[in-house]
Amino acid sequence: MQVAIGSDHGGFRLKTEIINYLKEQGIDYHDFGTYSTDSVDYPDFARAVAEAVAAGKFERGILCCGTGIGVSIAANKVAGIRAALCHDTFSARMAGEHNMANIITLGERVIGTGLARDIVAAWLNAKFAGGRHTQRLEKIAAMERDACFR
**CA 19 – CA 77 distance, rounded (Å):** 25
Catalytic residue among 30, 64, 65, 87: 65
**CA 130 – CA 146 distance, rounded (Å):** 24
| Domain regions of the chain by residue span | 2-149
Instruction: List, as one string, the DSSP characters of 75-138.
Output: HTTSTT--EEE-SSHHHHHHHHHTT--SEEEEETTTS-HHHHHHHHHHHHH-----THHHHHHH
Catalytic residue among 64, 87, 98, 148: 98
Does the pLDDT at position 73 exceed 60?
yes
Q: Which residues are annotated as a binding site?
A: 8-9, 66-70, 99, 109, 132, 136
Q: Are strands 60-65 and 83-85 parallel, antiparallel or unpaired?
A: unpaired
**CA 6 – CA 127 distance, rounded (Å):** 23
pLDDT at 66: 98
- Band (pLDDT 50/70/90 cuts) for residue 141 is confident
**Is 65 in the active site?**
yes
**CA 38 – CA 131 distance, rounded (Å):** 45
Asked if 63 contacts 45 with a C-beta cutoff of 8 angstroms, the reply is: yes
**CA 61 – CA 98 distance, rounded (Å):** 17
pLDDT at 144: 83
- CATH class given for the domain over 2-149: alpha beta
Q: Which residues are annotated as a binding site for D-ribulose 5-phosphate?
A: 8-9, 66-70, 99, 109, 132, 136
Tell me the pTM.
Answer: 0.94
52-70 residue pLDDT tens? 999 999 999 999 999 999 9
Asked if 89 contacts 50 with a C-beta cutoff of 8 angstroms, the reply is: no
Nearest partner of 48 among 75, 79, 68, judged by Cα: 75
78-136 residue pLDDT tens? 999 999 999 999 999 999 999 999 999 999 999 999 999 999 999 999 999 889 999 99
**Is 98 in the active site?**
yes
